[in-house]
Amino acid sequence: MFDFQIAATSGAARTGTLTLPHGPVETPVFMPVGTQGTVRALSPADLKAVGASMVLANTYHLHVRPGEEVVAQLGGLHQFMAWDRPLLTDSGGFQVFSLAGFRRVNDDGVEFQSHVDGGRRTLTPERATEIQWTLGADIAMAFDHVAPGAADEATSRDALERTLRWLERCARRHRDLADRPPGRPSVQTLWPILQGGTHPNLRTEGLRRILDMGSWTGLAVGGLSVGEPKAKMYEVLELLEPRLPRPLPRYLMGVGFPEDLVAAVQRGVDLFDCVAPTRNGRNGSAFTPEGPLNIRNAAFRTDKGPVDPTCDCETCTTYSRGYLRHLFVAEELLGLRLLSLHNVRYLIRLAEQMRAAIRKGEGALAAWADDWRRRYTQPGIA
Amino acid sequence: MFDFQIAATSGAARTGTLTLPHGPVETPVFMPVGTQGTVRALSPADLKAVGASMVLANTYHLHVRPGEEVVAQLGGLHQFMAWDRPLLTDSGGFQVFSLAGFRRVNDDGVEFQSHVDGGRRTLTPERATEIQWTLGADIAMAFDHVAPGAADEATSRDALERTLRWLERCARRHRDLADRPPGRPSVQTLWPILQGGTHPNLRTEGLRRILDMGSWTGLAVGGLSVGEPKAKMYEVLELLEPRLPRPLPRYLMGVGFPEDLVAAVQRGVDLFDCVAPTRNGRNGSAFTPEGPLNIRNAAFRTDKGPVDPTCDCETCTTYSRGYLRHLFVAEELLGLRLLSLHNVRYLIRLAEQMRAAIRKGEGALAAWADDWRRRYTQPGIA
């Protein structure tokens, strides 16, 4: 369990299989985000139809509403949301630092104000670990302190040090939970999150100290795609890649947009999550091989063609751009769902295409990615 | 084409097959309403999964947005909304009299203000017929003047007379369109709408004059379920039943709620449409054999059971009440879809159950309906 086998590489990129209690996951993989225990506008059947193998849910959101005990009484997160494939929960760290109206951080944990009912709550490394254990995802994340993308070194150092201290407490609590009763095969693993902002020395030091702390089944890079320039994100990934243990799956949190997925896979990343495909879909923006397209554009009024002629999703094989435009202009719910479905399929296909290119061996992914970028960076059709 | 074969009767109730250009429809049948060319929150695949055989769309809405010419350029209404089974369009009469902020009625037609852009538009019997021909549904409805449910006899008489004059013009225009080019098999039929409010003499006179006007392939009863007491609606249906030609399919417009469907089938009605299942579903109200249930009820917080244990829909076979409650409390889009799906399935199953009871012969439907009402009128479980 929690095994990761690399099948092929191409440059720094890898393709392989991550084995989890709820099934295997082929990597590189894009995980759709089910913030509140549902990927917005999509059903589990939709997600399977577009090839999703793993979904992320948010500990902060599920803790605040309906509460992890309710989820547990309804059979745990898998049964609650009727998703029988692998699940990952983030720790709540990111939400506490980005969503909550009020927060007070000290070494024990974070006191914050719920964005739902305004009530004061506290998350500590131990609580975040217990909540995730109660939810029951295949992968739990350590509770981290996320600094803004433009944070100076002192601020980033402070967040990194706290995150490392919290990681020890998360790991200890998770070990206690997972060993009870002793001898039972573990149903959940815990992954550490590397912080350190855009500061190379903090990133390399943080990574070394995480790896010294124990043997992990995977490792996440956090604190990127939080406002820093894209070039900075790529630099951090390039810095880390040769230092990351090759056998460990690498998860780049909160990424991404198509161009980020391609760039990060080329820099050795295996797992991704992002709300972009569903959020953009609900806003009428569709990914296509030529770039994003705004379906509300008047040019699509009588366009009989599909959103993306190369796509095999239900939206693209069934509906015209003209009809989808009508759904958005008329504010019909079906439109939100159909573009979300297409965008999720787009990113999952992108990962599939990269897996195929990596399997072709040295140089193949780079050639594929150059072609892809040439087409994608052309002026969008909308 | 446009053939109706009655297979069995039980009292005044009938079950049979209506054959239309896009396929057969077993009656009694409930038609989900696709107001703007989409059944709100549901896809054509969802509708097929719950057994929908025929869908209604609104001429007024599609004329105002995106316009019938856009629909025609996108392949006609069936291709536009990706629904390859039978479609019926209402004439716009009901919407002009219920939705438009401003209207001026004269014998030529109705001038009204679009609820979308405020622009002045005019619908005449000829225009309503042409628009429906352009949309291309299997069944078009005659343009009618709908009076409120509590209208006095003079008002109802005025609306009835105008509707009858307009019917002649609709029928003439439809004949011209359907005969061009001559000899081509007709792809659309036109059904008249009987008005007359709750006034027995107007209803019987109106019916006689419609039947004298020509030979129809079906007939709609309009102007019911528009604010009059339910008992009045049932009285009108009982008055009309023995006077309606038995071989003609009978369509009760805008009905209904489960109890109305059962009562009207017992009074000889074959076709129904109503926004209740989708509108109520979006409001968190689910039909069950015991009566409607409000999914937001706190009692369902940790309820592992399905919305309706007797139901075979995706919602009831996949999700707990507790999860559905969470989706509504958290304002997640999936909740709107899942309860809409269940409610549509509920009414389609209700029609299926009545078809089965009718096939059992004399007395069987009455016995089934008594049982059904005993259970349904019990205090709801919510």
Tokens 């309860």: give the residue: B339
Inspect the interface and report whether the beta carbons of B326 and A70 lie closer than 8 Å.
yes
Pairing of strands B103-105, B23-27: unpaired
CA–CA distance, A269 with A275 (Å, rounded to integer): 18
Is residue B381 predicted with pLDDT exceeding 60?
no
Cβ of A80 under 8 Å from any chain B Cβ? Answer: yes
CA–CA distance, A375 with A286 (Å, rounded to integer): 16
The pLDDT, as a whole number, for residue A10 is 97
CA–CA distance, B90 with B137 (Å, rounded to integer): 10
- Section A237-250 average pLDDT: 98
ipTM for the predicted complex = 0.97
Q: Which residues of B325-349 are buried (b: 16+ CB within 10 A; e: fewer)?
A: bbbbbbebbbbbbbbbbbbbbbbbb
CA–CA distance, B361 with B44 (Å, rounded to integer): 34
Is residue B179 predicted with pLDDT exceeding 90?
no
Asked if residues B96 and B60 have their Cβ atoms less than 8 Å apart, the reply is yes
Annotated catalytic residue, options B46, B144, B270, B273: B273
Q: pLDDT, tens digit, for every residue of B199-239?
A: 999 999 999 999 999 999 999 999 999 889 999 999 999 99
CA–CA distance, B214 with A54 (Å, rounded to integer): 62
pLDDT band for position B351 (cuts 50, 70, 90) = very high
Asked if residues B203 and B194 have their Cβ atoms less than 8 Å apart, the reply is yes
What is the tally of helices (H) and strands (E) in chain B?
15, 17
| Residue in B65, B330, B332 closest to A329 by CB | B65
- Among residues B23, B164, B177, B162, which one has the least CA distance to residue B88? B23
| Residue in B301, B314, B318 closest to A70 by CB | B301
Q: Which chain A residues touch B318 with a CB distance below 8 Å?
A: 44, 82
pTM for this prediction: 0.97
* Torsion over CA: A3, A9, A14, A16 (sign): negative
CA–CA distance, B297 with B305 (Å, rounded to integer): 14
A1 to chain B, closest Cα gap in Å: 28
Does the annotation mark A90 as catalytic? Answer: yes
H/E element, A3? strand A3-10
The pLDDT, as a whole number, for residue A249 is 98
The total number of residues written for chain B in this structure: 382
Cβ of A295 under 8 Å from any chain B Cβ? Answer: no
Asked if residues B306 and B320 have their Cβ atoms less than 8 Å apart, the reply is yes
Count how many Cα atoms sit within 13 Å of the Cα of residue A257 in the half-sphere of its side chain.
Answer: 14
The pLDDT, as a whole number, for residue A79 is 98
Q: B370: buried, middle or exposed (CB in 10 Å: 19+, 13-18, 0-12)?
A: exposed
Q: Which chain B residues touch A302 with a CB distance below 8 Å?
A: 70, 73-74
The pLDDT, as a whole number, for residue B40 is 98
Cβ of B339 under 8 Å from any chain A Cβ? Answer: no
Residue B29, helix vs strand vs coil: strand
Structure tokens given for A123: 């998350």
pLDDT band for position A7 (cuts 50, 70, 90) = very high
| Residue in A36, A80, A332 closest to B332 by CB | A36
Pairing of strands A55-58, A29-34: parallel
Tokens 């269940």: give the residue: B342
Is residue A119 predicted with pLDDT exceeding 70?
yes
- Among residues B22, B26, B96, which one has the least CA distance to residue B64? B96
Asked if residues B278 and B339 have their Cβ atoms less than 8 Å apart, the reply is no
Structure tokens given for B29: 């049948």
Does the annotation mark A138 as catalytic? Answer: no
pLDDT band for position A183 (cuts 50, 70, 90) = confident
Fill in the DSSP letter of residue B243: G
Inspect the interface and report whether the beta carbons of A333 and B302 lie closer than 8 Å.
no
Inspect the interface and report whether the beta carbons of B323 and A43 lie closer than 8 Å.
no
